[in-house]
Amino acid sequence: MKKKEKKRILILVVIAIIVIVALLIVRAVLNNNENNNTQTPSSSSSEAGSEYTALYSDGSKLNVSSKLKENKNYQNVTISNIQLTTVNGLNRLLANVTNNSNSSTDAQDVSLVFVDSQGNTIATIPGVIPAMNAGETAQLNASTTKDIINAYDFRIE
């Protein structure tokens, strides 16, 4: 092969690599935009009683009330990282529960009372605070088909 032919082949290879890399970058950007769009909340102000709710394009809802998300204390435990969501009509409260005592605790049945901004009860659902060792953190997981997603706050009884 002549020197000119080798140079042309090298230039074509470099151009092909640049085109392939550019296509991969465009594809990655488009995929990233599609993923972001599926998780972006839309305005839900048109829904009655939804001032504490973010509606996602997949139909799921997230309660955004700052009062509901505040840490709660119940006996010797702290409930934190509180999340209330609705997916396919199932409302689920997930939260971390930390044993603040110096001893182990037994599992404990509790009632979660969801209220509106005037303090009126929307619904009461059962929950279980799991057995924990001293200082341990576990998860509180309670779910219901009752419509509690628009709750302002909840208390534990």
Cβ atoms of 85 and 63 within 8 Å: the answer is yes
Name the band, by pLDDT with cuts 50, 70 and 90, for residue 43: very low
Which of the residue ranges 6-15, 32-41, 96-105 would you say has the lowest mean pLDDT?
Answer: 32-41
Residue type present at position 73: N
Q: For the chain, what is the mean pLDDT?
A: 84
Rounded mean pLDDT of 109-120? Answer: 93
Phi first, then psi: give them for residue 143, nearest 5 degrees.
-140, 155
- Range 53-156 classified under CATH 2.60.40: yes
Res 56: pLDDT: 85
Which of the residue ranges 5-19, 40-54, 97-111 would you say has the lowest mean pLDDT?
Answer: 40-54
Q: pTM, whole model, 2 decimals? A: 0.68
Which is more confidently placed, 115 or 14? Answer: 115
Rounded mean pLDDT of 53-76? Answer: 90
The pLDDT tens digits of the residues spanning 72-89 come to: 999 999 999 999 999 988
- Using CA atoms, how far residue 110 sits from 56, 60, 87, 107, 115, in Å, is 30, 26, 23, 10, 16
Res 1: pLDDT: 64
